[in-house]
């Protein structure tokens, strides 16, 4: 299991009562969604 990374919450987007998105700021390696798909 990987170590935990500390992050700061930049923004919270509430879609519904129990549905939300978090925008985080953390020192991690670059990630591009779908980088492992063909």
Mean pLDDT along residues 11-31: 93
pLDDT at residue 38 tops 90: no
Domain ranges of the chain: 1-29
pLDDT at residue 29 tops 90: no
Tokens describing residue 21: 């998105």
pLDDT at residue 4 tops 80: yes
pLDDT band at 8 (very low <50, low <70, confident <90, very high): very high
Please give the Cα distance from 33 to 16 (Å, whole number). Answer: 24
Report whether 21 contacts 3 (CB < 8 A).
no
Q: What mean pLDDT, rounded, does the chain reach?
A: 87
What count of residues does the chain have? 38
pLDDT at residue 13 tops 80: yes
Alpha-carbon separation of residue 35 from 1, 8, 29, 30 (angstroms) = 21, 24, 13, 11
């Amino acid at each position: 299991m990987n170590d935990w990374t500390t992050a700061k919450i930049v923004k919270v987007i509430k879609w519904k009562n129990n549905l939300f998105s978090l925008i985080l700021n953390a020192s991690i390696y670059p990630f591009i969604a779908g980088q492992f798909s063909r």
